[in-house]
Amino acid sequence: MLGKVLNERYKILKELGKGGMAIVFEAQDLLLDRKVALKMLRPEYVNDRDFVKRFRHEAKAVARLSHPNVVNIFDIGQDQDYQYLVMEDIEGKNLKDLIKERGNLDVVEALNIAKQISAALVVAHRNNIIHCDIKPHNILLTDDKQVKVTDFGIARAVTSTTMTITDTIVGSAHYFSPEQARGGEIKARSDLYSLGIVLYEMLTGEVPFKGDSPISVALKHIQETPKKPTLINPDIPSNIEKLVIRAIAKDPAERFITAENMENEIESILCDYSNKSLLNRDSIEHGDTMVIKKSELKNSKLENRNGKKAKNEKKYLTYNEPKSTSSWVKWLVLVFAMIMIATIGIFIFYRTYMDVPVVEVPDMIGMNIKDARKEAAQVGLQLEMQNEGVHHPEIAEGNILSQYPLGGERVRQTRSVRITISLGPTILTAPDLTGLTIREANVILDNQKLSLGNIEEEYSDSIPEGRIISQLPESGEEVGAENQINIVLSKGALPLMIEVPNILGLEKEDAVSLLEKNNFNLGQMNQKKTKRFLNNQVAEQSYDPGTKIPEGSKIDLTISSGLINTENAVLHKSFTMKYYVPSGSREQTVEIVIIDNNGRDTLYKSQHNPGDNISVYFNSVGPTRYEIYINNQLVEQGKVTD
């Protein structure tokens, strides 16, 4: 691809990166003489209407946005099979690379980046666009730390900032919201959850949830409470930790109402930091003495404690608060009271939480909630619901899906066991697959957590070859998540069925001519020495004579390269045996066997109706006998004579 020019305008210079759907190149806009980023749909997806539609959707979605923190889309084009977007070329790195390089970021730097991301989300949400995939990989940083949000490839255009994607998970597992993990309703607040996860990672250098697979990470988003950021990085101020915890609340109602609210909160915290920094520069506290800069006292009028004007301004450059003896008594009383309160608190805490028996947690996974409460009560434990429940294909509704601590662990009786209740299998409606190809059906079923089951094939005069005739369960019927849909696939219109002629013993050229005359095609041809056929004669055919197969089918032939028994070759004789199939009440299997110096061989075997005439050509060496079987019963035998 390097050096290729698309539409006589965009010359590809180098590859910048690859994604699941597209490859990004750096290119030169020959018309405007500037560097651009060219995002090209992968070749394997150019004929997939769904991917092309999604690719073009990204351009339309971002083209509606005009903001310094959103990557600009300049153009969208197609050159033969190449589908591409032309975007602003950002020189810098993505946020993920910065976090890997630095570990965790400075608090103010992290807040500034989060503020710019939220600003981009404000303009997106105002245009009824939900990004759905906010993550550090999609946050580009220029050299002067300006944020550019990119990759709106799975963004959704919505009305009233609300959207439902039934049983479809979109986004990246470490950053998507619980509602995305459940495949439920997605609102603008889902982007704010993802931004909260990104801010968590910037401040700590870690994502809150990790797992062996995307599914395990998704379940943690739904079920588990993240570790507080200050447990990883103690330098994080409490007000910033509260901001992060609010952003990543599992209940969308507990998060910020809009991206603008979150941006304002971040701005407020940054202002506090700025004011504190200014205060630390302008004034320094030393015990009870406040040292004030002379510049702040210039042209000011100072009054003494009785309200009189100062006679000597220098006298007030330092002001000392007189200390009273009674203040020491107050401090002693206060310290004594605090010690007493702390002692009483420790005593109560010990009696309530520590001076209790240690018990073994019962294994309650799979139990219904009523039995689980009884089981927990027997050892003095209580159950605590973690969330509203999660669908599971195997655990019945109302039974426990997971618990923490796990069964077998030993804990004090005061500790609650957090549980998640199964909502049972997800009930879906079977989509209508009739008329679709297998590839199209797989895309639809994969989006609904379903899959194809048994595939049968039938001829159809109305449904084109390769498309689905019928399905089971039928369209509209209820099915469980991860169930299979069985289909019947069309083989096209039923072809004309023709009997295969007997070409054994014919010269190769005559055999090919006879096949073409009967509207068959020649398949593969092999050669080998045989016992019954001379050089260039047909020794085997892939379909038995008399078999009915579709018109136009290919028939493979084996051509003899001469007799195996060359010593007796001069003694060989050529024969054409004719046989009349006797009358009967049903179709019969006729088999003709030859015995000579080359051994015993079945020359002919096929189905025939009563009254059919059979003609078999062969060569034999030495004295020759024949046997004829009908339905595996010997009906005739004798010597072959000239």
Question: Amino acid identity, residue 106?
Answer: D
Taking residue 35's Cβ as centre, other Cβ atoms within 10 Å add up to 12
* Whole-number Å distance between alpha carbons of 329 and 17: 71
DSSP 459-497: --SSS-TTBEEEEESPTT-EEETT-EEEEEEE--SPPPE
Do the bridges between strand 382-385 and strand 416-421 make them parallel or antiparallel, or are there none, so unpaired?
A: parallel
Q: Of 75, 81, 133, 251, which is the active-site residue?
A: 133
Which residues does residue 123 pair with via DSSP β-bridges, in sequence order? Answer: none
Residue 316: burial class (beta carbons within 10 Å; 0-12, 13-18, 19+) = middle
Question: Cα–Cα distance between 193 and 175 in angstroms, integer?
Answer: 8
Q: Enumerate residues 6+ apart whose C-beta is below 8 A from 387.
A: 178, 222, 223, 250, 420
The rounded radius of gyration (Å) of the Cα atoms in the chain is: 42
Residues 6+ apart with CB under 8 A from 133: 151, 153, 154, 155, 170, 171, 172, 175, 176, 194
Q: Is 133 a catalytic residue?
A: yes
Q: Distance (Å, rounded) from C-alpha 465 to C-alpha 312?
A: 106
Q: Which DSSP letter does residue 252 get?
A: G
Q: What's the DSSP call for residue 425?
A: S
Structure-block tokens of residue 461: 């005069």
Active-site residues: which are they?
Answer: 133
